[in-house]
Amino acid sequence: MSQTALFQLGTGLETPGAARNEGHSETAAPTPNPAEDRHDHFALRNGVRCAGVHLIIDLYEAEGLNDIDLIEATLRHCVEAAKATLLHIHLHHFQPSGVSGVAVLAESHISIHTWPEAGYAALDVFMCGNANPDACVPVLREAFSAKRVAVSELLRGQAA
């Protein structure tokens, strides 16, 4: 099988149902009320005003980290659990192994980079407005059967 590891088929409104290849990409349909689509107003987190909450999540001794379908489904599940709005998603499957993915949200983003051979994945869940980034943690732990999960929280833009 030929490997075109950096080839990625972009899908947009003009190319519905395009086949997946080494990478997946998808962009959401237009909103019917576009006058204000920003969901990332400054927010309060435990009484602290900030632009957004940024969770740094590390998964250790995890499984399924080379399964691009599982990873994409899990990112989507995270967006739903957090009650966020998905604008664009892109995943890249490396050779010989590993996946990188980003989901661009109205409330900022989720990113994932996996090292399957080490059972390790690095994620960022950056959300603003009314989305709830904490809801992603159990989703990730379960999806990847991670034996250890480390979570740090940064309140971005406190000084803005």
Binding of residue 151 to a second copy (CB under 8 A): no
Q: Which stretch binds a second copy (CB under 8 A): 3-11, 69-77, 136-144?
A: 3-11
How far apart (Å, rounded) are the C-alpha atoms in residues 58 and 92?
A: 19
The closest of 109, 102, 61, 49 to 84, measured between CA atoms, is: 109
What residues form DSSP beta bridges with 90? 25, 102
The closest of 23, 127, 112 to 82, measured between CA atoms, is: 127
| DSSP code, position 130 | T
Binding of residue 106 to a second copy (CB under 8 A): yes
**108 is an active site residue:** yes
What minimum distance in Å lies between the beta carbon of 69 and a second copy? 18
| Cis preceding linkage at 138, omega within 30 | no
Active-site residue identified among 113, 136, 145, 152: 113
Dihedral in degrees, nearest 10, Cα atoms 87, 80, 23, 20 = -100
What minimum distance in Å lies between the beta carbon of 88 and a second copy? 5
Active-site residue identified among 108, 109, 136, 145: 108
**50 is an active site residue:** no
Please give the backbone phi and psi of residue 72, each rounded to the nearest 5 degrees, phi first: -65, -45
Task: Give the interface with a second copy as residue ranges (CB under 8 A).
Answer: 3-15, 23, 25, 27-31, 34-38, 40, 42, 51-52, 54, 56, 58, 60, 87-88, 90, 92, 94-98, 100-102, 104-106, 108-109, 111, 113, 115, 118-120, 122, 124, 126, 128, 148, 150, 152, 154, 156-157, 159-160
Active site residues: 108, 113, 128
